[in-house]
Amino acid sequence: MEKIIESAKKVIEKTKKLYGNSPDLNTRIINIKGTNVGILFLESSSQASTISDFIIKGTLYTASSKNLFQNIFDALKNNLFNSQLFTIKDYSQFPYFLSSGFTIIVTDNSNEAIIMETRAQLDRGVTESTSEPILRGSKDSFTESHSKNLGLIRKRIKDPNLWFNEIKLGRRTKTRISIAYINGIADPKKIEEIKKRLSKIDIDGILDSGNIKDYLIKQKSVFPQIQSTERPDVVSQELLKGKIVIFTENCPFTLILPNVFIDYLHTSEDQNQKSSNITFTRILRTIALVITIFTPAIYIAITTFDQNTIPDKLLISLAIQREGVPFPTTFEIILLTTIFEILRESDLRSPSSMSAAMSIVGALVLGQAAVDAGIVSPITVIVVAFTSICSLVFTDIDFMNGIRTWRFIFILAASILGIIGILSFAIIWLVKLASLENLETSYLSPFAPFSTIDQNDAIYKAPEEKLINRPNYISNLNPHRQRRTK
């Protein structure tokens, strides 16, 4: 703790030196009956009109008041009007409050400072989510404003048991991190473990929620173990299940944990549609997952090693199509798959007005040109296109990257050992997924370990009135989400 100098002029000089005489550091000294009052704020992060209307006028009103307190500092505390006004005695806190948009007031003969909120509106308003489009449901999304994000959750869950625990991370950024959970539903052990892992972070700066992901995961995997979303309705649903959510200042994306594999086969719209339609859609997503991971590898295996597994007519048709192609099947698959991944990456990074056109033209022109040139066969283009279309069912970028990694692993396994290689690596894949555990929650829950009661909202979606319990693998506290109907 560094004490505040009992001289307004010296405090201002010290602060200017601390900021290297930065032009956005504004200061003013007002003399009230022989006592100097110093006002400090950063023009880049504070609202000048608020300072003029409430602080400067309030200070001048204090100077003209006939009923002055004997202590000017106490008089200012009583005459300045602001919803957030408090005092500090530690000079080392000045940079944090100034950068956060607060105005600091110091006076002679006082080792305290008055802190008033005068933040400028530096963030965008609440808009529709661009990364997670929805057909039916809430359209709002989180922004870079920390208080707005918390307010979007308070608006939905009007329960005093919705608790937020705040810590600051980053030696230089002092980023606010809020841990949100519903007391009485979330598992206290998981909450304490998250706090413990976050407290061990010692880094210069945290600028995005993605910066703290790796610190929250003990077992590494290419598949994501923490869900990231910018939609408050998704966060509210997960909080009511007993999960824990982490908000990061200046970032619209929150982190939800513990997360399991089955969560990526669900969408927030599942709560807004008929259960029979949702069950069918989840089955389609599961089939799409299997197709996008295994189809290229199976095609390589049956055309290279296991031709006897396919009918003779189909085998002859494939052989005719491959006539004149100089490269092996594995090279064709890897070439076209790599081209598609490059197109997908360029689609993500390009401006929205031109990305779709680039992808369509690139896929059509390159695919047709490759077939006409005899570099690849038409059936290979069909296999890769079908695989790529199935991968578009999933929107989470981390989950798509995990699918892509294992797709290439299975392609290499099939090119070396055929069907045996695919089966061997499929077992390895399942074992690795089953061995993952985050916050004492198995990644393949509720299938491994198998939970009968949780199958009502896994692949099969039971009607809403029959979903009595929350997922047992998340928390055992307060298991009933609704009363049983007679």
- 412-469 pLDDT tens trace: 999 998 899 999 999 999 999 999 988 889 999 999 888 888 888 888 888 888 888 8
The structure tokens 């002092």 sit at 174
CA distances from 357 to 132, 246, 354, 385 (A): 21, 37, 5, 17
The answer on pLDDT for 362 being more than 70 is no
- Six token digits for residue 155: 């608006």
For residue 267, the model assigns a pLDDT of 83
- If asked whether residues 240 and 336 sit together in one domain, one would say no
Q: Is residue 141 part of a domain?
A: no
**3 state SS of 67:** coil
Express each pLDDT in 121-149 by its tens digit: 777 778 887 777 777 778 888 988 888 89
Q: How large a percentage of the chain has pLDDT more than 90?
A: 34
Q: Is residue 457 part of a domain?
A: no
- When the pLDDT of each residue in the chain is averaged and rounded to a whole number, the result is 85
For residue 67, the model assigns a pLDDT of 56
Of 207, 232, 259, the domain-final residue: 259
Phi-psi region of 110 (alpha: psi -120 to 50; beta: other; left: phi over 0): beta
Q: How far apart are CA 206 and CA 177, in angstroms?
A: 9
| Residue-number span of the structural domain to which 163 is assigned | 146-259
For residue 432, the model assigns a pLDDT of 92
- If asked whether residues 320 and 438 sit together in one domain, one would say yes
Yes or no: say if 208 and 175 are a contact pair by the CB < 8 Å rule. Answer: no
Q: How far apart are CA 9 and CA 38, in angstroms?
A: 7
For residue 351, the model assigns a pLDDT of 61
For residue 358, the model assigns a pLDDT of 57
Residue closest to 119 by CA, chosen among 46, 196, 192, 217: 46
- Six token digits for residue 285: 């997503």
Q: Highest-confidence range of 58-72, 79-93, 155-169, 321-335, by mean pLDDT?
A: 155-169
Q: Is residue 96 part of a domain?
A: yes
Whether omega for the bond prior to residue 471 falls within 30 degrees of 0, making it cis, is: no
For residue 50, the model assigns a pLDDT of 80
- Six token digits for residue 461: 């979606």
* Residue 223 CB coordination number (10 Å): 19
Q: Greater confidence, 449 or 348?
A: 449
Burial class (CB in 10 A: 0-12, 13-18, 19+), 345: exposed
pLDDT band at 350 (very low <50, low <70, confident <90, very high): low
The structure tokens 């296999």 sit at 383
Yes or no: say if 187 and 477 are a contact pair by the CB < 8 Å rule. Answer: yes
Q: Is residue 419 part of a domain?
A: yes
pLDDT band at 64 (very low <50, low <70, confident <90, very high): low
Whether omega for the bond prior to residue 463 falls within 30 degrees of 0, making it cis, is: no
The structure tokens 């105005």 sit at 103
Say if strands 254-257 and 227-229 run parallel, antiparallel, or are unpaired.
antiparallel
- If asked whether residues 293 and 438 sit together in one domain, one would say yes
- If asked whether residues 185 and 234 sit together in one domain, one would say yes
The answer on pLDDT for 353 being more than 70 is no
For residue 484, the model assigns a pLDDT of 66
Least confident of 45-54, 66-75, 330-339: 66-75
Q: Is residue 88 part of a domain?
A: yes
pLDDT band at 244 (very low <50, low <70, confident <90, very high): very high
The answer on pLDDT for 66 being more than 70 is no
Yes or no: say if 142 and 131 are a contact pair by the CB < 8 Å rule. Answer: no
Residue closest to 453 by CA, chosen among 443, 466, 440: 466
For residue 378, the model assigns a pLDDT of 83
The answer on pLDDT for 163 being more than 90 is yes
- If asked whether residues 166 and 305 sit together in one domain, one would say no
Say if strands 227-229 and 441-442 run parallel, antiparallel, or are unpaired.
unpaired
Q: Greater confidence, 87 or 136?
A: 87
The answer on pLDDT for 10 being more than 60 is yes
pLDDT band at 409 (very low <50, low <70, confident <90, very high): very high
Of 215, 235, 259, the domain-final residue: 259
For residue 472, the model assigns a pLDDT of 87
Determine the Cα angle at 67 with ends 62 and 68, to 5°: 55
For residue 414, the model assigns a pLDDT of 93
Yes or no: say if 308 and 315 are a contact pair by the CB < 8 Å rule. Answer: no
- If asked whether residues 95 and 22 sit together in one domain, one would say yes
For residue 457, the 8-state DSSP code is B
Q: Greater confidence, 22 or 366?
A: 22
pLDDT band at 74 (very low <50, low <70, confident <90, very high): confident
For residue 426, the model assigns a pLDDT of 94
- If asked whether residues 195 and 289 sit together in one domain, one would say no
Bridge partners, 128 (sequence order): 140
Question: Quick one: average pLDDT of 330-347?
Answer: 83
Residue closest to 125 by CA, chosen among 145, 147, 102: 145
Of 205, 236, 259, the domain-final residue: 259
Q: Is residue 428 part of a domain?
A: yes
* Residue 287 CB coordination number (10 Å): 12
Query: For the stretch 225-263, what's the b/e string if a residue is b when 16 or more beta carbons lie within 10 angstroms of its beta carbon?
Result: bbbbbbbbbbbbbbbbbbbbbbbbbbbbbbbbbbbbbbb
- If asked whether residues 400 and 286 sit together in one domain, one would say yes
Q: Highest-confidence range of 79-93, 106-120, 310-324, 364-378, by mean pLDDT?
A: 106-120
Express each pLDDT in 203-239 by its tens digit: 999 999 988 988 998 888 899 999 999 999 999 999 9
Query: What are the backbone dihedrals phi and psi of residue 87, each rounded to the nearest 5 degrees, phi first?
Result: -120, 155
Residue closest to 394 by CA, chosen among 267, 210, 296, 229: 267
What single string gives the DSSP state of each residue in 240-288?
HHT-EEEEETT-S-EEEES--GGGGG--GGGGGS-HHHHHHHHHHHHHH
pLDDT band at 120 (very low <50, low <70, confident <90, very high): confident
Burial class (CB in 10 A: 0-12, 13-18, 19+), 469: middle
| Total structural domains within the chain | 3
- If asked whether residues 406 and 434 sit together in one domain, one would say yes
- Six token digits for residue 125: 């308003």
71-78: long-range contacts (C-beta < 8 A, 24 or more apart)?
Answer: 71/110, 72/32, 72/33, 72/35, 72/37, 72/107, 72/108, 72/109, 72/110, 73/107, 73/109, 73/110, 73/112, 73/114, 76/37, 76/105, 76/107, 76/114, 77/114
For residue 343, the model assigns a pLDDT of 78
- If asked whether residues 50 and 189 sit together in one domain, one would say no
Residue closest to 333 by CA, chosen among 288, 285, 301: 301
- If asked whether residues 203 and 337 sit together in one domain, one would say no
- If asked whether residues 16 and 78 sit together in one domain, one would say yes
* Predicted TM-score (pTM) of this structure: 0.85
For residue 481, the model assigns a pLDDT of 82
Q: Is residue 127 part of a domain?
A: no
pLDDT band at 11 (very low <50, low <70, confident <90, very high): very high
Handedness of CA 76, 82, 86, 88 (dihedral sign): negative
Q: Is residue 164 part of a domain?
A: yes
